[in-house]
Structure 1
Amino acid sequence: MNSYINLSSVLPLVAVLVLTFSLYKYLVENFDYWEKRQIKFLKPVPFFGNFSKAFLQQKGIGFLLAEFYNQVQERFFGIFVLSEPVLVIRDPELIKQVLIKDFQHFADRSNLEDESIDNISADFLFFSKYKKWKILRSKQSPIFSSGKLRCMFLKMETVVKDMEFYINSKMSTNLCNLDVKELCNRYSTDVLALCIFGMKGASFENGHSKFYDIEKRIFGFSLLNDFRLFGHTTAKSFIKLTRLKLLDSTVMKFLRQTIGSQIEKREQNHLENNDFLDILVELKRMGNVRGLMFDQDRVVALSGQFIVAGYETVSTTLCFALYELSLNQEAQQKLRDELRDAVTEENGLDYETIHKLPYLDQVVKETLRKYPVLPYLDRCCTKEYRIPGSDLVLQPGSIIYIPMFGLHYDKNYFPDPNKFIPERFSEENKSSFPASAYVPFGIGPRVCIGERFALNATKLAIAQLLLDYHLEKCNETPIHVEFKARGITLMPTKKLIINFTKISQAAY
């Protein structure tokens, strides 16, 4: 009897030990992957691989990859995301080879969506497999033609006017201190609402803005949101386990209702508005396109991707450009002088004029260097590939990362990388670094489709604000920005509050 009791009490413990050992073996069995291939790698830890600081929210992914980048002085090296081996590429020439010349070997991203888990985000260009991506991109490209962008530029101008009205409403004796991140979030929301849905976002109006609330719901910092964004972009095994969708039910309900009602209105009244919704109406009318059915869910997905991708691209870039200009008065005045000269010569600030301003372009490029919207680029090997100049052969399914922060802060390419120096990108200086060391929107066939749209929205806002306001740091302005160690996007730990003074009151 005693033997039976002793055995029965021990069995659960044995089962736990066996299960623990099996789990441990599963989590570490791949950790010799790079060693077998004689590739330099960073030593992983069970479960987390090399990403424990990211999972435990001790360091943002971009900064963690930059830390790895600086630890290993090789063309490429190995890391582990959970138990998944990932090749990190440091060499700009190899980056160009992989993303452009040998694109057919790396036609997919590593973070492809599983349609059985999330059929909506699986239709985002960012998450689509190559065959589907080709069809989706070809059908969305017309909205980003020069003619369409010129029409959307006029819509953006109305949002800039709303933003300036909002700024003026906050002023006392022609000046005010504003949280520039919140200001730019509102601007980005309203630009997207008008140019995608053909609707007024109303983020600058008093009261309730549904569009602004939805953007905050998608990108607001919460533990669940952190898991959503991190899982869908970096840790697919976590999404397979939890089956978390990228966009929650509230966001999806809003998109379905908004898109449905707007498309119905366009169809009934035969309206065209030179916005993204025109494309959606046409695709829905066509139905089946090269084997892809453009039903209600797919149309919702196509609009949702720009709500997700466009929001942070515009708001983050604009925010940090204004912040840096408030700290760098010489650069601010140089840009204002360029803008004033252009307005005088061209009799205004229109679409063509914005694209003729070299220093404005340099300011935006330097902002994107210091504050890239994405922490890294990723690709998945789709055909066997030998890394040039090495014996390493990547098999289909192998993942590569290109660390944006590591490249953009490499002193070999960008001396004094922590300084804001727009002149790095002047005609005389831009040949001083490899073109593929600067990749804020990616390069190659899978470059961001909305790059020109985002740059237009950002440049227009900077230009008009600098013509009408003097920007300056105040007592609440942080001189060095620190970022929250969570999420995918850059979020300052402190508010970026700067002073706006009406230009007629500013002292130079």
Structure 2
Amino acid sequence: MEFLQRLLCTALSVASIFYFIVKTSLSHWKRRGILHEKPKFLVGNLRGVGTKRHISAVLEQIYEKYKGQAPFIGCYAYLKPMVLVLDLELVRNVLVTHSDNFRERGVFGNAPHDPLSANLLQQDGAAWHRLSIAVCPTFEEERISQMLPTLERVAATMHRSLTQSQPPNAVPIDKLVDCYNIDVISTLAFGISGETLLNTDTEFRRMARSYLKDFNMFRLYFLMYFPNLARLLRYKNYEQAATHYFLKLVRQKLFEQEWSRIDNRNSFFQMFAELKRHRDPERRLSDEEIAAQAFSFILMGLETCNSAMTFCLYELALQPDLQRLVREEIRGVCRQNENGMDNARLKQMRLLKQCLHETLRKHTPYAFLLRNTNEDYEVPNSVFMLCTDNHLVIPVAAIHRDPELYPEPNKFDPERFNKENVKRRHPMAFLPFGVGRRYCLAQKFAEMQMLVGLASLLRDFSFSPCPETPIPLVYDNTRLVLAPKGQLKLAVQHV
């Protein structure tokens, strides 16, 4: 009996301490006197995220509720206090004007035990600065334009695979563009011939689709809230089999290139390989670092490009007149350059690019950007201050769907991105790739990759809804990157 009483007292004590910790954590913004969204016990403001709601919808709801009341508000990711930035001028200060105060993303990385995390996205501080200096020249526009012929070859294979199947029936568009983007990445980032469009069950595709351990918001929260503990426990983001595969692949290709001495700078992998032999030790990359930079194309580019291309084709399928105008533009540009596409011709596809940008606005792949404050920061023209180590969330998807910036935000209207309309909007009103010192270095390449793929498909094929096409569209709430729930099928016909 005495044992039971002690056990009960211990349980009550533990529960009381736990309750006190939770309530203290969830009263952070109230104690500071900061306007905030009232949190729910344990889950903060993430109730239903990953099951009933997508993170995009949650951030949009909070943004619309508090926009205009303050430059930022407080919110909670489970027990973690976060700053939700609402004002576009503050967004510009954080990302551009005063970016020195917000140098870090705060994304978990553990390079010593998880070598693929030694990429630019997951590095901060001195490690990021060194990598950035070494890798930035790789993404210069002149170098990227040299890869256009390779993109055309991969796109031609996609075109051929679709022609051979000659389907008047439903085609899983998301799978088609996934194979295209995987072949682009395998060819240009890893230096191996892409075969996924001809054989969807390649080892590269299996690893590119299974590298990440089961994702959930709680794991993301744990890594953000307790990064040092996670490193002490040697936590790894990526599956061991995938890590071993990509490291082995890169080492093998580096060995082959070392002996062949090919001086052909038409792929990212070849330019990364040059950094292994760089004369400056600070800019020299190890095999593991090269593998991590190549892997970053899968980590940051694969799902993003899949999402944008899939949704763009979906939207054009619902607007056949707009699709016809895009096709006429593509064919007109192609007739002017029968020997193949070049950068100048690609830029002439203005309507196609507007459609792509409107897709990135309406169906923003990543709902938010993350930044950390390095030191106390007084918000200009206000009485507010952001404290050191505040975690900032910039709700990109919510900004993209703000009716004051984009009237009728649920409407797909590429004219929002003609030159005149773009000039009239705040420069921070469109942020699919971020801006400032931590923007996506591969932005120009990603756009070129998607435009070439879309142009190849839309030039000779028409897309339309079929009985299996979801109308209205339903998103997959379990994924961080915005994606359709289940396969997205469209009817495809050669025209």
- TM, length-normalised to structure 1: 0.91
Give the structure 1 partner of residue 489 of structure 2: 497
Q: Which amino acid aligns with 2:451?
A: K
**1:171 and 2:160 matched:** no
Taking the TM superposition and a 5 Å limit, the aligned residue runs for 1:113-192 are 113-115=109-111, 118-121=114-117, 123-172=118-167, 175-192=168-185
CA contact (8 A) 1:484 1:490 kept: yes
Give the structure 2 partner of residue 205 of structure 1: 198
CA contact (8 A) 2:51 2:477 kept: yes
Of 30, 43, 47, the match for 2:25:
30
Give the structure 1 partner of residue 52 of structure 2: 58
How far did residue 69 of structure 1 move? 1.0
- SS of equivalent to 2:428: helix
- Partners of 1:280 and 1:40 lie apart in 2 by 47
Of 215, 225, 237, the match for 1:226:
215
- Partners of 2:54 and 2:159 lie apart in 1 by 33
- SS of equivalent to 1:397: coil
Structure 1 residues 115 and 23: alpha-carbon distance in aligned structure 2, compared to 1, 3 A threshold: farther
- SS of equivalent to 1:43: coil
Of 70, 77, 94, the match for 1:98:
94
Of 206, 215, 223, the match for 2:208:
215
- Partners of 1:46 and 1:196 lie apart in 2 by 45
Taking the TM superposition and a 5 Å limit, the aligned residue runs for 1:454-465 are 454-465=446-457
Structure 1 residues 113 and 287: alpha-carbon distance in aligned structure 2, compared to 1, 3 A threshold: farther
- Partners of 1:491 and 1:357 lie apart in 2 by 26
Structure 1 residues 309 and 249: alpha-carbon distance in aligned structure 2, compared to 1, 3 A threshold: same
- Partners of 1:289 and 1:375 lie apart in 2 by 37
CA contact (8 A) 1:287 1:294 kept: no
Give the structure 1 partner of residue 61 of structure 2: 67
Give the structure 1 partner of residue 290 of structure 2: 299
Structure 1 residues 110 and 28: alpha-carbon distance in aligned structure 2, compared to 1, 3 A threshold: farther
Q: Which amino acid aligns with 1:101?
A: T
How far did residue 296 of structure 1 move? 2.8
Greater CA deviation, 434-443 or 133-142? 133-142
How far did residue 27 of structure 1 move? 2.4
Give the structure 2 partner of residue 257 of structure 1: 248
- SS of equivalent to 1:80: strand
- Partners of 2:38 and 2:2 lie apart in 1 by 40
Of 299, 303, 309, the match for 2:300:
309
Structure 1 residues 119 and 191: alpha-carbon distance in aligned structure 2, compared to 1, 3 A threshold: closer
Which ranges of structure 1 fall in alignment gaps of 5 or more residues?
Answer: 1-5, 504-508
Greater CA deviation, 21-30 or 408-417? 21-30
Give the structure 2 partner of residue 380 of structure 1: 372
CA contact (8 A) 1:179 1:495 kept: yes
- Partners of 2:12 and 2:307 lie apart in 1 by 48
CA contact (8 A) 2:474 2:485 kept: yes
The superposition leaves residues 442-494 of structure 1 with CA deviations (integer Å, 9 ceiling, x where unpaired) of: 01111101111110010011112111111111121122211121121122124
How far did residue 305 of structure 1 move? 1.4
- SS of equivalent to 2:329: helix
Which ranges of structure 2 fall in alignment gaps of 5 or more residues?
Answer: none
CA contact (8 A) 1:478 1:494 kept: no
The superposition leaves residues 14-43 of structure 1 with CA deviations (integer Å, 9 ceiling, x where unpaired) of: 112211222222222132222233221011
Greater CA deviation, 244-253 or 188-197? 244-253
Give the structure 2 partner of residue 325 of structure 1: 316
- Partners of 2:402 and 2:86 lie apart in 1 by 10
Greater CA deviation, 374-383 or 63-72? 63-72
Structure 1 residues 119 and 259: alpha-carbon distance in aligned structure 2, compared to 1, 3 A threshold: closer
CA contact (8 A) 1:313 1:454 kept: no
How far did residue 293 of structure 1 move? 6.7
- Partners of 1:115 and 1:336 lie apart in 2 by 46
Greater CA deviation, 375-384 or 7-16? 7-16
- Partners of 2:411 and 2:370 lie apart in 1 by 27
Give the structure 2 partner of residue 506 of structure 1: none
Q: Which amino acid aligns with 1:88?
A: L
How far did residue 284 of structure 1 move? 2.2
Structure 1 residues 427 and 248: alpha-carbon distance in aligned structure 2, compared to 1, 3 A threshold: same
Aligned residues: 488
- Partners of 1:279 and 1:199 lie apart in 2 by 14
CA contact (8 A) 1:65 1:403 kept: yes
How far did residue 437 of structure 1 move? 1.5
The superposition leaves residues 173-223 of structure 1 with CA deviations (integer Å, 9 ceiling, x where unpaired) of: xx342111011110110000011112112111236311211122136xxxx
- SS of equivalent to 1:374: coil
Greater CA deviation, 245-254 or 71-80? 71-80
The superposition leaves residues 369-406 of structure 1 with CA deviations (integer Å, 9 ceiling, x where unpaired) of: 01112110110001210112322222221111111221
**1:344 and 2:335 matched:** yes
The superposition leaves residues 35-55 of structure 1 with CA deviations (integer Å, 9 ceiling, x where unpaired) of: 23322101112322212322x
How far did residue 120 of structure 1 move? 3.2
- Partners of 1:399 and 1:36 lie apart in 2 by 17
- SS of equivalent to 1:86: strand
How far did residue 81 of structure 1 move? 1.2
How far did residue 423 of structure 1 move? 0.4
Give the structure 2 partner of residue 3 of structure 1: none
Q: Which amino acid aligns with 2:225?
A: S
- SS of equivalent to 1:326: helix
Q: Which amino acid aligns with 2:61?
A: E
Give the structure 2 partner of residue 367 of structure 1: 359
- Partners of 1:22 and 1:117 lie apart in 2 by 34
- Partners of 1:161 and 1:97 lie apart in 2 by 43
Structure 1 residues 288 and 28: alpha-carbon distance in aligned structure 2, compared to 1, 3 A threshold: farther
CA contact (8 A) 1:37 1:392 kept: no
- Partners of 1:399 and 1:182 lie apart in 2 by 36
Structure 1 residues 132 and 488: alpha-carbon distance in aligned structure 2, compared to 1, 3 A threshold: same
- SS of equivalent to 2:89: helix
- Partners of 2:13 and 2:34 lie apart in 1 by 32
How far did residue 82 of structure 1 move? 2.0
Structure 1 residues 358 and 52: alpha-carbon distance in aligned structure 2, compared to 1, 3 A threshold: same
- Partners of 1:17 and 1:380 lie apart in 2 by 37
Give the structure 1 partner of residue 399 of structure 2: 407
Q: Which amino acid aligns with 2:60?
A: A
